[in-house]
A = this chain, B = another copy of it.
Amino acid sequence: MCLPQTVGALQQSFSRRDFFKLGAACAATAALAPSVSLAQAGRTINAGMIVDLTHTWGLNTPLFPGSVQPTIELFVSIAQNGYYGNIVSYWEHTGTHMDAPSHFIEGGAYVDQLAVTSLVAPLCVVDIKAKVAAEPASQVMIDDLVAWEQQYGRLPDGAALFMNSGWATRWGDPAAYVNADSTNTLLFSGFSLEAVEFLLAERNVVGIGVDTLSLDYGPATAFVAHSAWLGAGRWGLENVANLDSVPPVGASVVVAPTKMAAGSGGPTRILAMY
């Protein structure tokens, strides 16, 4: 997410109760840090199918309101120079992209500092399309995670957990993707604080992803899911694509952010394999 007008309120609106709950979650998580990665477990990846979970980004890419559109300037052309290339500018949180801990946390890891062992993980997908069809501004709740585990088993250690709200089909229509109502409230889905706290305290998940513009759902004005998740040193992904093309469990994912020095995140190629 990135809404300069409202994000300044973050610290103020994060209540004492939230901080207590977050503190408890972080303390519990210390003993459960994602020390068992796919790599360390010596797992193999089945690459029989490769699915690109990345949207193509460009001049008209949907962005969180208040962000700056990319520019793409022709620098050399085959006709003039014998080869083709552009000078590109973008706000770091454009397209399918990563939020590194530093995006919200002073002293948090920059995008180039993330351990590569956290970038290759078992992929789990929680499908909330049914409730989003009724209410676009839904959140992944603990109940959704419990229901997922009842069906597919416990979230594996070192997993990446992505939300599929069915939003990716709107990518080509920025107004429908941002989905602001008449009061400029954004109506799309994300992770609830309670779900993030549950994952931090009770499971061992290296990263979360959403198929919308923000880890926090659209109506949020205090970015509590961002702060709790990134505050625990984990990565988040926004605008993930093609989640209908991967199974809920059993695939692996390679998360490949641009490796820019001191980046707060950045465009990220995501390939799932199974």
Contact A55 B85, CB 8 Å, known A39-B50, A271-B120:
no
Contact A88 B92, CB 8 Å, known A58-B262, A259-B55, A261-B57:
yes
How many of these chains are in the complex?
2
A1-22 CB contacts (< 8 Å) to partner B: 2, 4, 7-11
Q: Assess whether A42 is in contact with B50, with CB atoms less than 8 Å apart.
A: no
A61-95 interface bits toward B, Cβ cutoff 8 Å, 1 = contact, 0 = none:
00000001001100110101111111111111101
Cβ–Cβ < 8 Å partners of A156 in chain B = none
A89-114 interface bits toward B, Cβ cutoff 8 Å, 1 = contact, 0 = none:
11111011000001111100000100
Q: Assess whether A46 is in contact with B48, with CB atoms less than 8 Å apart.
A: no
- In the bound assembly, the distance between CA atoms of A42 and B46 in angstroms comes to 7
CB distance from A253 to the nearest CB of B (A): 11
A80, A254, A265 interface centre (most CB from chain B within 10 Å)? A254
Contact size range, A: 35 or more
- In the bound assembly, the distance between CA atoms of A265 and B223 in angstroms comes to 34
A162-193 CB contacts (< 8 Å) to partner B: none
- A47 within 8 A of partner (CB): yes
Contact A2 B273, CB 8 Å, known A88-B92, A116-B52:
no
A265 to B, closest residue via Cβ: B85
Q: Assess whether B47 is in contact with A45, with CB atoms less than 8 Å apart.
A: yes
- In the bound assembly, the distance between CA atoms of A89 and B59 in angstroms comes to 14
Q: Assess whether A256 is in contact with B273, with CB atoms less than 8 Å apart.
A: no
CB distance from A96 to the nearest CB of B (A): 7
Closest A-B pairs by Cβ, 8 of them: A256-B256, A58-B261, A256-B269, A10-B82, A89-B89, A45-B45, A7-B82, A85-B264
Interface residues of A (CB under 8 A from B): 2, 4, 7-11, 38-39, 42-52, 54-59, 68, 71-72, 75-76, 78, 80-93, 95-96, 102-106, 112, 116-117, 119-120, 223, 226, 252, 254, 256-267, 269, 271, 273
Extra contacts, 16 of them, besides A39-B49, A45-B273 (Cβ < 8 A), are A7-B82, A39-B50, A43-B47, A57-B258, A57-B260, A58-B262, A59-B261, A83-B103, A83-B226, A85-B91, A88-B90, A89-B90, A120-B271, A254-B256, A256-B271, A260-B267
